[in-house]
Structure 1
Amino acid sequence: MMHILFLTDNFPPEVNAPASRTFEHAREWVRLGAKVTVITCAPNFPAGKVFPGYRNRLYGREEMDGITVIRAWTYITANEGFYRRTLDYVSFMLSAFIASFGVRKVDVIIGTSPQFFTAISAFMVSLFRRRPWIFELRDIWPASIKAVGAVREGPLLVTLETIEMFLYRRASQIVAVTHSFKDELVSRGIKADKIHVVTNGANLAHFLPLPKPAALAHKLGLDGRFMAGYVGTHGLAHGLETVLDAAGLLQSAPETADVRIVLLGDGARKAALKADAAKRGLANVLFLDSVPKAQVPEYWSLLDVSIIHLRPDPLFRSVIPSKLFECMAMGIPVLHAVEGESAEIVKREGVGITVTPGDGAELAKAITQLANAPARLNAFRERCLSAAPRYDRKTLASAMLDAISRTARAR
């Protein structure tokens, strides 16, 4: 039985994309016959507050759907502030390495991004264990933090980029979540044959079409409204000020008086966004806090159309937000304000409308169009559901397990 040691600083009960991807893959690997141990930290993302029922202690152990989960102590902070977050990452890098001494007979080690400190820990474990390691590349970092202004050109950035390239070269294999990431690495001199692409997807057993929850809509004061919404992290990269720009235009137009904008989630920009919405007098915007993973589909099903948005930056052309696949699985059309590879998926599958990132007027226009075109909206829904099986997480997990097995055999 192959034993996979997976290092990640995000894992359930956290509900962000890295946590969901890792858990759903690991659960499927166990079902397919692998042994999986995950080293992570106390759940705290994104608010930097440890979830109820957990403690930030030196060492904790639990079983979760056949996965052995080891939780190591880390310095915990909210998902904001470059230097404090870096201290968080570095502390996990060290504590994960130490925790790995308690895991026996490992065949292959995986370290996942978006930041690369977890990958450094996986590299160190591989040296100590003399086993191959895989870099799961979920983001081009540090370029992504440069794009949002968290770090500027200078010696620090040069140092981070040097470490980044070292890790790419030393990894036994790289599993990238987009073809654009692979193309970027190849252009920087990394051999194409060591890069395997396994895109994000959706758990079709968890995200599935649901009727609009009338009781929840009534509780939130959304009865009879056309609802567009954003579900996810409210961070620097997401540019959600654009959604508020669109909301202001919709509020001032008589034909969209019944449209409401829902923003569900937490993150570094949430407090500022709420203050901005209040300052603008946006009565058509509703902010909701994050909910447990089991409740997320119910809240998704409130929406008539989902907004997916990232700041207008060339770097984000290589990103495919995982919520795109969750929307497909639930039959929710998308207003997709992310350029590049993910926009091509939306166009190819015919699951929504692509809009220019950062353009609130274009976003408001697209919402207005769909609010007044039920037949077009229904056609998008049908195409979402027909496309979703092509991005089933189970199939993708099996493909990644094949790549892991080849790496383990070739050690």
Structure 2
Amino acid sequence: MHILFLSDNFPPEVNAPASRTFEHCREWVRAGHRVTVITCAPNFPKGRVYDGYRNRLWQSETMDGIRVIRVWSYITANEGFVKRILDYQSFMLSATIAGLFVRGVDVVIGTSPQFFTACAAWAVAAGKRVPFVFELRDLWPESIEAVGAMRKGAVIRMLEKLELFLYRRATLIVAVTRAFRDKLASRGIARTKIEVVTNGVDMSRFRPRPKDPELVRRMGLEGRFVAGYVGTHGLAHHLETILDAAEAMRARPGGEAFHFILLGDGARKQALKEDAARRGLSNVSFVDSVSKDEVARYWSLLDVSIIHLRKTELFTTVIPSKLFECMGMGLPVLHGVAGESADIVRSEDAGIVFEPENTAQLIEALERLQRDRALLDRYRASCLEAARRYDRSALAADMLRHVEGAAAHEAGSRRASAR
């Protein structure tokens, strides 16, 4: 089978959509399938093209057996709603045109979070008369409203109509959470065509390792209990909660033993750095995004990982992908996200759940784990045990089975209608 996958994020970018797409496609190639990915020049999140690439109309390379076609798009930093929409729409147009020139395709997959990429996948699939699979990673445009980037109005209503159009036209929808499936079903989308394949962890890359001694020395972390956030610094994440905890820690007995690391980039990164400098937070270190090969070194510095999202009803439906990377690293989690992902943390005994934006609860959890090493070790062991249930290779095989089933079903339906 020849799978055409459209995604505007792909390695060497290191965000969650890029990692999931690459790791799934790599496994499908290993299973004997032909995979072509259409993406853009790597530039996320700073809006600057990575070294070794150019923003051309068309360029092609091969990565782990995957044919990767990079097309031109309007490139901008991950900030500013209007510019980002132009970015998404330009990729949609370029990807649609490029996709029509890829031959012998059996199925087309388009991934979110934003769904202009899925629009391109639908158009290409319709032009080729092959199944369209929508990989649903986010409830967009609902998430735009949730972070306050846009108020309900004519534009949001138009995007919601487009969203429902894509759900209805998809042969198969692969959602990353059960809550997404339930949400779509409540809006009239047939539950029978929605499958759930959660995010997971590449066990070959994320595994327990001792603290990197060179980084410990360079960052002055000797003897510190290190808590860290690794990921996008965006509107949705409300990382001010971590800064509030760092500030409050300085005034508490024994607070000097704690240090906080925030690794990544995003629309709020500069504002967070300025806020920390204003407060004089010497117990907070900011680290820019690093390559996938380097990120595990920084994960190793942490005693606990903090996962956090803004307190809003929408985010009770999401499962942050970094949760599974923490499991793979054997890193206990302080989980400031309510809903389905919090249920996973509790059921897997992977850490402590605290209320989003509740600084006092975060501090209490930090002090508890720093004080109770037996509990910390228990969570570490539980994380490693749980990681095996979210192995990316197994999840990729699960998604492939659903895609093959959808392709076979649609082919059968077309043969029947042709008689």
Q: TM-score of the superposition, structure 1-length normalised?
A: 0.99
Q: Which letter does structure 1 place at the counterpart of 2:296?
A: P
Q: Could you list the per-position Cα deviations for residues 279-300 of structure 1 after superposition, in whole angstroms to 9, with x for gaps in the alignment?
A: 1111110001111111111110
**CA deviation after TM superposition for structure 1 residue 118, in Å:** 0.3
Alignment of 1:119-134 (within 5 A): 119-134=118-133
2:58 matched to 1:52? no
2:360 matched to 1:357? no
The CA distance in 1 between the partners of 2:170 and 2:221, in whole Å, is 50
Which residue of structure 2 aligns with residue 303 of structure 1?
302
Which residue of structure 1 aligns with residue 399 of structure 2?
400
Report which stretch shifted further, 44-53 or 245-254: 245-254
CA contact (8 A) 2:351 2:379 kept: yes
CA contact (8 A) 2:100 2:128 kept: no
CA contact (8 A) 1:245 1:361 kept: no
Which residue of structure 2 aligns with residue 279 of structure 1?
278
Q: Which stretches of structure 1, 4 residues or longer, exceed 2 Å deviation after superposition?
A: none
Q: Which letter does structure 1 place at the counterpart of 2:94?
A: S
Which residue of structure 1 aligns with residue 330 of structure 2?
331
The CA distance in 2 between the partners of 1:310 and 1:361, in whole Å, is 16
Structure 2 gap segments, 5+ residues each: 411-419
CA contact (8 A) 2:315 2:338 kept: yes
Q: Could you list the per-position Cα deviations for residues 191-240 of structure 1 after superposition, in whole angstroms to 9, with x for gaps in the alignment?
A: 00000100000001100000111111101111111100000000000010
The CA distance in 2 between the partners of 1:87 and 1:261, in whole Å, is 36
Alignment of 1:75-154 (within 5 A): 75-154=74-153
Alignment of 1:187-206 (within 5 A): 187-206=186-205
- Does the residue aligned with 1:135 lie in a helix, a strand or coil? strand
- Does the residue aligned with 1:237 lie in a helix, a strand or coil? coil
CA contact (8 A) 2:100 2:127 kept: no
- Does the residue aligned with 2:217 lie in a helix, a strand or coil? helix
Q: Which letter does structure 1 place at the counterpart of 2:278?
A: K
Q: Which letter does structure 1 place at the counterpart of 2:101?
A: G
**CA deviation after TM superposition for structure 1 residue 139, in Å:** 0.1
Q: Could you list the per-position Cα deviations for residues 354-407 of structure 1 after superposition, in whole angstroms to 9, with x for gaps in the alignment?
A: 000011121111111111111111111011111110000000000000011111
Which residue of structure 2 aligns with residue 183 of structure 1?
182
Report which stretch shifted further, 245-254 or 136-145: 245-254
CA contact (8 A) 2:106 2:407 kept: yes
**CA deviation after TM superposition for structure 1 residue 410, in Å:** 1.9
**CA deviation after TM superposition for structure 1 residue 408, in Å:** 1.4
CA contact (8 A) 2:209 2:329 kept: yes
Q: Could you list the per-position Cα deviations for residues 11-55 of structure 1 after superposition, in whole angstroms to 9, with x for gaps in the alignment?
A: 000000000000000000000111000000000000101111110
Q: Which letter does structure 1 place at the counterpart of 2:255?
A: T
Alignment of 1:175-324 (within 5 A): 175-324=174-323
- Does the residue aligned with 1:257 lie in a helix, a strand or coil? helix
**CA deviation after TM superposition for structure 1 residue 67, in Å:** 0.2
- Does the residue aligned with 1:167 lie in a helix, a strand or coil? helix
Q: Which letter does structure 2 place at the counterpart of 1:147?
A: A
Structure 1 gap segments, 5+ residues each: none
Which residue of structure 1 aligns with residue 25 of structure 2?
26
The CA distance in 2 between the partners of 1:95 and 1:66, in whole Å, is 23
**CA deviation after TM superposition for structure 1 residue 254, in Å:** 2.4
Report which stretch shifted further, 210-219 or 181-190: 210-219
CA contact (8 A) 1:11 1:22 kept: yes
CA contact (8 A) 1:142 1:161 kept: yes
CA contact (8 A) 1:214 1:223 kept: no
Q: Could you list the per-position Cα deviations for residues 60-98 of structure 1 after superposition, in whole angstroms to 9, with x for gaps in the alignment?
A: 000000000000000000001111000000000000011
- Does the residue aligned with 1:410 lie in a helix, a strand or coil? helix
The CA distance in 2 between the partners of 1:292 and 1:157, in whole Å, is 35
**CA deviation after TM superposition for structure 1 residue 101, in Å:** 2.7
The CA distance in 2 between the partners of 1:26 and 1:156, in whole Å, is 34
Which residue of structure 2 aligns with residue 8 of structure 1?
7
CA contact (8 A) 1:93 1:118 kept: yes
2:71 matched to 1:72? yes
